[in-house]
Amino acid sequence: MLRYSLFRELVNISSPSLKEESISLFIKAYLTNLGFIYREDNFGNLLFFKALESVEYCLVAHMDTVEGANVAHLMEDEERFFTDKTTALGADDKCAIAVMLELAKECSCDNVAFLFFIGEEIGLYGSSHMDKALLEGLEDSLFFVLDAEGEIGTIINEAVGKSRITFICHGRASHAGFAPEKGINAIRVLSQIALELPQGRPDEISTCNIGSFIAEGSTNVVSSLAKLTFELRSLDDSNRKKLEEKIIKKSQDIAQDSLALLDVKVEDLYKHYKIDKEDEIVLKAKKAIESIKLKAQITSTTGGSDANSLNSFGYKAIVFTCGYFNPHGVEEYIYKRELDKLYFLVKKLIS
């Protein structure tokens, strides 16, 4: 089948985040040969269409993979695509690209645009930096992002917003043997802060995690510098902001009591979105799923996708599960039957 051969070819194209040139060239060549016009912004995001004024639906995928899927060691049997367990597969999100390219060849697609983002795997870099002129003329179109783990049939109509907080603690260096009392140990201070940071689920709609703690040095020097990174996700942006403020105040109080200096940087990586279950876009997605004899499920997620960026820019976007499992790791796989279902689902959607 064409989608299988396309998938095999795509996973053998190197496309780690911010190095998507090769896959971008492949997609450009494939779609322009089919008569599509394309736009490209300064970041490398791509939009393809035939008749812009006729576009009702925009299908969305990202071109990058995690580093571990850089040229996957592909294996397959009658049922699945997988790897030799030395690389990830990159089905996230190349299964979506394969389906979109087959649709472009097999259907007229006058009412469809195809949107490909760079850098999704590094915090939605491409979609969050997108030049709005890229999507000019598509203000009334419905956007369907093909990028989520799980069997075909799930619609994601709500996703968390996410912040990253970086703490840099400045202590005071001194000789650990001759004058330890003159020093202020940055590692100790930042460790006290780390112990006060919420972890896991601080409430029913939020998650928190310490991602890294970096402090290099010698044992004979009282540490003067330590760095910690922390993420915070929530299904309520106002709740996320309140948690941020509480965390920052507590951390600054600890640093002040220890006579250390604390630099805090907060990055609002993406915002929460929620599309009503009775909205036109959700109902169209549900109808398409049910038309291929599957049960539609509507749910929220604690993960982010390019749908977060699109919704924040004022476009209406939801996410479909794509049939892959265990993304980003060496156990990643996709059933061929799920790739088939994704193709027929999207074909029904745009018909």
pLDDT for residue 71: 87
Asked if residues 100 and 43 have their Cβ atoms less than 8 Å apart, the reply is no
What are the extents of the domains in the chain?
2-159+272-350, 161-270
pLDDT at residue 151, rounded to an integer: 98
Q: Are 154 and 148 in contact (CB under 8 A)?
A: yes
Cross-strand bridge partners of residue 58: 113, 143
What are all long-range contacts of 214-219, with beta carbons under 8 Å and residues at least 24 apart? 215/186, 215/187, 215/190, 217/187, 219/176
pLDDT at 117: 99
pLDDT tens-place values along the chain, 351 residues long: 899 999 999 999 999 999 999 999 999 999 999 999 999 999 999 999 999 999 999 999 999 999 999 889 999 999 999 999 999 999 999 999 999 999 999 998 999 999 999 999 999 999 999 999 999 999 999 999 999 999 999 999 999 999 999 999 999 999 999 999 999 999 999 999 999 999 999 999 999 999 999 999 999 999 999 999 999 999 999 999 999 999 999 999 999 999 999 999 999 999 999 999 999 999 999 999 999 999 999 999 999 999 999 999 999 999 999 999 999 999 999 999 999 999 999 999 999
By CB neighbour count within 10 A (0-12 exposed, 13-18 middle, 19+ buried), where does 113 fall?
Answer: buried
| Residue 241: burial class (beta carbons within 10 Å; 0-12, 13-18, 19+) | middle
Phi, psi of 91 (to 5 degrees): -60, -30
The DSSP line for 3-47 is HHHHHHHHHTS--BTT--HHHHHHHHHHHHTTT-EEEE-TT--EE
CATH architecture of 161-270: 2-Layer Sandwich (3.30)
Show the tokens assigned to 217.
Answer: 């040095």
Query: Hey, what's the torsion of the CAs at 272, 273, 277, 279, to 10 degrees?
Result: 170
Tell me if the bond preceding 93 is cis, omega within 30° of 0: yes
> Which SS3 state, helix, strand or coil, does residue 179 take?
coil
Q: Which of 111, 230, 106, 75 minimizes the C-alpha distance to 168? A: 230
Superfamily of domain 2-159+272-350: Zn peptidases (3.40.630.10)
Helix (H) or strand (E) segment spanning residue 299: strand 297-301
